[in-house]
Structure 1
Amino acid sequence: MANVQSVTLTTNNGPCNAAIDQALAGLELKKQRSLLPEKWSDYVRTVNLSEHVEVGRSIAQAFATDELAHYLLDSDDMIGLSDEARWKLHVDMMKYIVAAHCISGLVTTIGPDYEGVALWAPPGSNTDDWLTVLRSGAWRLYYQLTAGGRYRYFTELLPLLHHTMHEVMGERDNDCYYLVYIGTKPSGQRRGYARKLIEAMALKADAENRAMYLESSSDKNTAYYRKFGFEHKKDIHLGDPNSSNSSSSTGKSVRLAIMVREPQTLSGKNIPIKLGAGFRGLQ
């Protein structure tokens, strides 16, 4: 809101006073209270399981054009799916994944309507255990996906991610902060939400002297993560990188860049994390 300075008038002009009263009344309208917590626009907060539906829809919007998301839902036996059915399946998948991380991982968000969302697997967590799979509803995916979709998700993707993380991190594969998903839906982009989500966990990881790990599905995102100290380690591929028919949506295989951020010291000049005014440390 604009700052209003007090003004001393030396006139008793009635119309002038009426104009001032009208202007002040207009300012009062701008002060109307909102039930939306003001701090949600600036602070990173954790998400409860009761919020997983809304958060799942938000992350689904953020990844609506993501190549990996398309690859998982573009197997040959899914060609006949309508756009609406494909979108519903995409949203359901994200809701299950969010629920699993609310139960056995950590989900953070920022923005009044879950504009920015990050899904984390903290040290010692396991979002793939049977109890979590049952409680989150992720077991339904096996029946919702086609045979081709099941193969791509359960046989191709998940084992590759687990194997690669163990290969890259070694003994630290269960002792780091794994950024599983981070996204900002279109209505919340260009507000620094992703930066704040990463900074919040980076500060926590640094305080614990732990690394951070992620997979990036685009060159643009890879360049963005470098700003926070993530380093590229290797690439992995889904589908056949030598085939032009690996993914019906993109005509190519999906490449994921594996990135690791080593813990940063809080002294010295080269600290990639600069905390914004809206940051509040996670407990």
Structure 2
Amino acid sequence: MRVVFAGTPETALPTLDALVASRHEVAAVLTRPDAPAGRGRTLQPSPVAQRAAELGIEVLRPEKPSDPAFMARLREIGPACCPIVAYGALIRREALDIPELGWVNLHFSVLPAWRGAAPVQRSIMAGDEITGATVFSLVEELDAGPVLGTITERIRDEDTAGTLLDRLAGLGAGLLVDALDHIEDGDIGAHQQPEDGVSYAAKLTTEDARVDWTRPAFAVDRQVRGCTPAPGAWTVVGDQRLKLGPVTITPEDTLRPGVIQVGKREVRVGTATTDVVLGEVQPVGKKAMAAADWGRGAGVPDGTVLA
């Protein structure tokens, strides 16, 4: 089956690679325009654009997928279907109608839970035990189309948003290719998403990543892991922002919420329940380091309250 693949970040690469290795023909990729990156903020192609160029696949990068030139080229290519993973822009009705078999989206949650931009992050932060990936037919309403296939995956105690997303991207690539195989063979059915159980996963803001030490240790742990690696959990020590890596929950309740205690081998902070031990931290303008190393040099008095 002739397809045009739509995707932009590294998360989409496992699916692109799986499609290239499949029985389907990837005629082109659709991705977001080049964007500033790195210290020099020079324009760089997206990870999907770079991989497509390496593979000798045509790259389409319109400012908007409604651009007339892009629409004309998509009609010329004539894909039977357009698989999509984390493309980053809304596909309107005119474009949705071009491929005979529609657009098929891979989303990293078990729909209808966590529709939207940050399903993995929000799932971890909400304390979910199970997440997964869903392949569905794209419609104009956000992540609301008929479901073609689903897998589930346990959220591990050590998972960050980064590690869990990487795992789901690999598992989901196989799910999407399998769905395309069955679409081509005409032996797959879709079912409408239930109306109950709908939740939304808004993109994380910097303020979402500010740790609230008045919450229980479990919630603090999940907030930090859900914001790792981006946007990065943080707190304020004195008047300085401190970026935080994943923490370790302890059984001891020795400190009031937000109170920091710097020891020789560890740095503890109180929560609404038990203390947590900080892992890696990163002061502004410095590299990430072990919290104990930071604590010895920072001169933070015991009893300081993090904000």
Normalised to the residue count of structure 2, the TM-score between the two structures is 0.28
Which one has the bigger helix percentage?
A: 1
Structure-1-length-normalised TM-score: 0.30
Larger Rg, first or second structure (1 or 2): 1
Greater share of residues in strand: 2
